[in-house]
Amino acid sequence: MDFEDDLRAGDDELDYMRSISFRPNDRSGSLEGIPFVVKDAICVEGVETSAGSEILEGYKPVFNAAVVERLESSGAVFHGKTQQDEFGFGSFCTNCAHGTPRNPHDTSRVTGGSSGGAAAVCAATDKDILSIGESTGGSITNPAAYNGVFGLTPTYGRVPRTGLVSYSNSLDKIGVLSSSLELVAQGLEVVSGKDSGDQTSADRQVPEFSRESVPESLTVGVPTQLEQVDLEQPVRNNFEASLSKLENLGHDVERVDIPLLDPDVCVAAYYVMAVSEASTNLARFCGMRYGAEGNPGDHDDFNEYFSHVRGEKLGDEAKRRIILGTYARMAGYRDDFYVRAAKVRRKLIDQVEEAFDRYDLLAAPSMPGVAPTFEEAQDMSASETYAMDALTVGPNLAGVPQLSVPNGEGDGMPTGLQLIGPHWGEKLLIDTARQLGSE
């Protein structure tokens, strides 16, 4: 069976694909013949790109995102788009307009969000494929851990966002998931680097991620703030086993205090920042320029028309975030919310950078538990769901790279180790994961 048949068969059962569309590519390069899929929020020329939302239904971009262009130029073969939470709003991939992916390890469980389809497709096949995801506050680490695959979230600015439907521009990062660590390395090498279409993409040399070097006597810091999160027992056991493995490899493991990594602080600051930016980004979806349209003639004025289309086409979580974000940015409240969150982020970056003066890497579990069942996820309130991001929002606010590495199982479900590097430190993350894998 070739990969296309595999993809269809798996998708019938697990619903991880938003659309399957094979695009032949006879170019040669480092990824020649490697199948790739992209999260729905990433533009592919001529392929409906709805970022998991009904409001973008029918939108077919006339261009490729920079990452798609780069992958195809290096010979990789596009196979389709994966399901996601609407605009990236979620931790379980249950806020999707076009189908809810199920976890290949146990179909009664979620895939994690928001790049749930992106991780599930890797776990569902035994072929080596490359899956392009996006993270704002943990959307690569989280589903990678829940599905038992590798997920690399790069440094902010490493991979251009040109052609990504934005959630929160100052936090969004396109990254790579795969069951194969070597493909993660090769894929990252191809998609990284400055693009003139994204002024926040960094003009920096791209290391040869695919060339292995062996890390020697690293000092690994375990942030006490992240260790104190309420962890499920298998997650704690597997994390301790991973730390022992690092020690057996000759690395030092020490506890480190990074006060602002406190999950209560980070979850609050992250959600204020993210929803503020999301509420402005979503203003462009007004029933006129992109995607869904209504009948303007049926309404007295534009505001009424705009509210009607958005009322019909946006999901509950998107509406909640527009309301919260608009409030947090309003004159009179801005200083207390948005500006304060921005200050917390600035200080957090300083504290994290200071920690990296002494530590080569930081380590934490990827998620506090294994993937919950759909029932468990449904019973959580919005704020309980936001709290699930306790381990991932801090590193994302700081803009540093993270690699989620499968590190065992609990109750038959995979768990992940989150290696966190200094800005531009992806190579060390990959090399350390290689070393752990060869142990």
- The contact set with ligand GLN (CB under 6 A) reads 88-91, 113-114, 135-139, 167, 274, 389
Return the amino acid letter for 65: A
Cβ at position 175, least distance to ligand GLN in Å: 10
Is 139 designated active site?
yes
- Nearest residue (CB) to ligand GLN, 167 versus 209: 167
What is the DSSP annotation of 175-238?
A: EEEES-HHHHHHHHHHH-S--TT-TTS---PPP-TTS-----S-EEEEEHHHHTS---HHHHHH
Instruction: Compute the half-sphere exposure of residue 297: CA atoms within 13 Å on the CB side of its CA.
Output: 0
Is 381 designated active site?
no
Q: Which of 74, 114, 135, 168 is catalytic?
A: 114
- Nearest residue (CB) to ligand GLN, 167 versus 356: 167
CA distance 59 to 207: 36
| Cα Rg of the chain (Å, integer) | 20
Output b/e per residue, 162-192; b: 16+ Cβ within 10 A: bbbbbbbebbbbbbbbbbbbbbbbbbbbbbb
Cβ at position 246, least distance to ligand GLN in Å: 27
- Nearest residue (CB) to ligand GLN, 256 versus 274: 274
Cβ at position 371, least distance to ligand GLN in Å: 14
Cβ at position 189, least distance to ligand GLN in Å: 23
Cβ at position 275, least distance to ligand GLN in Å: 8
- Nearest residue (CB) to ligand GLN, 31 versus 42: 42
Task: Of 91, 121, 90, 128, give the one whose Cα is nearest residue 104.
Answer: 121
- Nearest residue (CB) to ligand GLN, 95 versus 225: 95
Cβ at position 234, least distance to ligand GLN in Å: 22
Helices (H), 125-180: 141-147
Q: Which of 19, 135, 139, 404 is catalytic?
A: 139
For the chain, what is the total number of helices (H) and then of strands (E)?
A: 15, 11
- Nearest residue (CB) to ligand GLN, 102 versus 173: 173
Task: Of 153, 192, 190, give the one whose Cα is nearest residue 173.
Answer: 153
393: helix, strand or coil:
helix
Cβ at position 328, least distance to ligand GLN in Å: 14
DSSP 8-state code for residue 272: H
Q: Any bridge partners for residue 221, and if so which?
A: 254, 362
- Nearest residue (CB) to ligand GLN, 88 versus 368: 88
Tell me if 371 sits within 8 A of 100, measured CB to CB. no
Alpha carbon separation from 310 to 72, 304, 306, 321, 386 (Å, rounded) = 35, 10, 6, 13, 24
Task: Of 144, 169, 173, give the one whose Cα is nearest residue 159.
Answer: 173
Active site residues: 39, 114, 139
